[in-house]
Chain A
């Protein structure tokens, strides 16, 4: 464990630690762009310069190991002057138009400039003009002029996605990031290049020029797109959610996440959501308040189960939290005596698939949690059993805790057809699916809260339990399954069970969710 001194502070680090890592460990700031903790060392930006006592020249902190007794600083005038000049050289060809850059507000270069900028540039040379809108592929756009050639994105496609699409072509001040012969940057992890781009060179087609980042709030949660459970933050404002980015977790996703997972903000936005509790009978739909409908529904179901347990069935998807499964099963199985509980698997053929990095074929966040709960109660009926019972018209009442993220359920239509032999369908889902209301002679649709609006825990593929907390309230009348259960056995009309999670919510969304005018008019591909 070599000991060193950084800006006068004693630091103890493991053998092999680089100086830049020691800076991070000791909580001190150091200028850098090209270095990224999840990638190899390139040493090309020359900004992490430090002075080491006894060494005549400055060294780069990212590629120098800490040795016993080193005395290091980055606050001497020599270092500051070097960083200032280094930064000025980076800015020779970089446009100075931060106000119209999409990266403004979260730009490494901008932040460095505030701290180390010369503020009085001495460059007389004209800037080299390059292409401003390069369509790199289905997800990413490149502005070559903003690129400072740190090579993070190139190293990402070489080392992490291993797809090798990107390279640095030409040389000197004509150097540019690009792909070979127009081949698109098209891999399942391509948007990570946007995250690690320290400037506004790589931008996401989905997010660019939609929002100013300083107006967005972030909420830490997990991705529910598959059973990996990557740690993410969702960025939102009063109009809704706008983007998802990964959060570092060495045990699950490291620094990265897949492109598919970045779309999960879409299904939680209001325009894609089921809004009201409705009951449809003979083609006529009526909107209900939870307080009026649920106690009566609870009584009806309870009587049905107790009269004939075979006539009621509960279908669960792997989309909900452990707590929700527990409370639903507690009520229906333990206290009512329900026997018919089934697991709806959305992708049986690809459940076990894994792409070797993060993406899993099981497109549910909590299959493991659901299976645990079913095991505990020895509920072992299979989907085949359900099909048989439905065909024999044994089941009259069907309660379906359906998909939260409809995009990952390609089989809804087919399943609804199967359900149509029941008399009454109670359909819980966050999203809108055409035709649900006409499946059975009586259909109750109940909007559910998404992972972004409730508290609960999810167990990922390797058995790690992760907790989420509510970020915002998006659909006012949506219920978590816990709240649904609370409502079912509530005798007390008008009781306030619906806002269990809402006390934790800090922002409520304003209406309506409007499209950003500038998205359509700014720039073209």
Chain B
């Protein structure tokens, strides 16, 4: 999968018909079409195996009629857009203050060690990427992590591993 993703780097990208409709909707929603860049980038990321490739930018530039450089400015500014391929399970461990006080950083290190990965790296089977991220807005349930679009809270190393292993088994098949 990771290899397929990397190959995808230079390929053409196109949104699904629903995706295209979404972009048109966002374009008409705001007074200034630059405001539609963030939701449209999210949509591309979702439809492009979790990352925003240069091909996505070129595609968006065409259909939104906004220069590539300006869409790329937005994508580069925000860390929640992945500019490199990620695994099918993108595990984002919060390391900001509340989580850090409750062992978030240690949790991130533990997971990296368990799965023999550096932060941000894609595992050889293309399944996992572990990232250290800043506050995800779930401070009351620290430490926590986000896997793809769902939150997993009140974690300890064992619990986190268990969740990841279950998901890996589910997605891997």
Contact = CB atoms under 8 A, between A and B. Distances in A.
A182 to B, nearest CB: 9
A62 interface: no
B69 A166 contact: yes
Contact of B72 (A158, A169, A171): A169
Nearest to B61: A180
B76 A165 contact: no
A164 B67 CA distance: 6
Given A180-B54, A180-B57, A181-B57, A167 B77 contact: no
Contacts of A158: 67
B72 A181 contact: yes
A168 interface: yes
- Counting chain A CB atoms within 10 Å of each CB, which of B54, B58, B72, B73 scores highest? B73
A183 B54 CA distance: 11
Interface string B50-84: 00001001100000000111111100110000000
A173 interface: no
Nearest to A182: B54
Nearest to A164: B67
A179 interface: yes
B57 A167 contact: no
A171 B134 CA distance: 15
A125 interface: no
A169 B54 CA distance: 14
B57 A169 contact: no
- Counting chain B CB atoms within 10 Å of each CB, which of A166, A167, A171 scores highest? A167
A240 B120 CA distance: 55
Interface in A429-447: none
Give the interface SS of chain A, mostly helix, strand, loop or mixed: mixed
A171 B68 contact: no
B68 A169 contact: no
B116 to A, nearest CB: 29
Nearest to A169: B76
A55 B73 CA distance: 35
Interface in A169-225: 169-171, 179-181, 183
A407 to B, nearest CB: 32
A97 B58 CA distance: 39
Contacts of B70: 164, 167
Interface string B143-161: 0000000000000000000
Contacts of A165: 69
Nearest to A183: B68
A179 B77 CA distance: 14
Nearest to A170: B76
Contacts, number: 34
Contacts of B71: 180
B159 to A, nearest CB: 34
A170 B74 CA distance: 8
Nearest to A181: B54
Given A180-B54, A181-B54, A181-B57, A171 B69 contact: no
A322 B69 CA distance: 47
A180 B72 contact: yes
B6 to A, nearest CB: 15
Nearest to B66: A164
B67 A168 contact: no
A219 B53 CA distance: 49
Contacts of B73: 167-169
A161 B168 CA distance: 51
B70 to A, nearest CB: 6
A345 B76 CA distance: 51
Nearest to B55: A181
Contacts of A171: 76-77
Contacts of A183: 68
Nearest to B67: A164
Contacts of B67: 158, 164, 167
A295 B29 CA distance: 81
A181 B68 contact: yes
A242 B57 CA distance: 40
Interface in A307-340: none
A166 B72 CA distance: 10
Nearest to A162: B67
B52 to A, nearest CB: 12
A273 B76 CA distance: 50
29 contacts: A158-B67, A164-B67, A164-B69, A164-B70, A165-B69, A166-B69, A167-B67, A167-B69, A167-B70, A167-B73, A169-B72, A169-B73, A169-B76, A169-B77, A170-B76, A170-B77, A171-B76, A171-B77, A179-B69, A180-B54, A180-B68, A180-B71, A180-B72, A181-B54, A181-B57, A181-B58, A181-B68, A181-B72, A183-B68
Given A167-B70, A169-B76, A180-B72, 12 more contacts: A164-B67, A164-B70, A165-B69, A166-B69, A168-B73, A169-B77, A170-B77, A171-B77, A180-B54, A180-B71, A181-B72, A183-B68
Interface of A: 158, 164-171, 179-181, 183
Interface of B: 54, 57-58, 67-73, 76-77
Closest CB pairs A-B (n = 5)? A164-B67, A167-B69, A169-B76, A181-B54, A167-B73
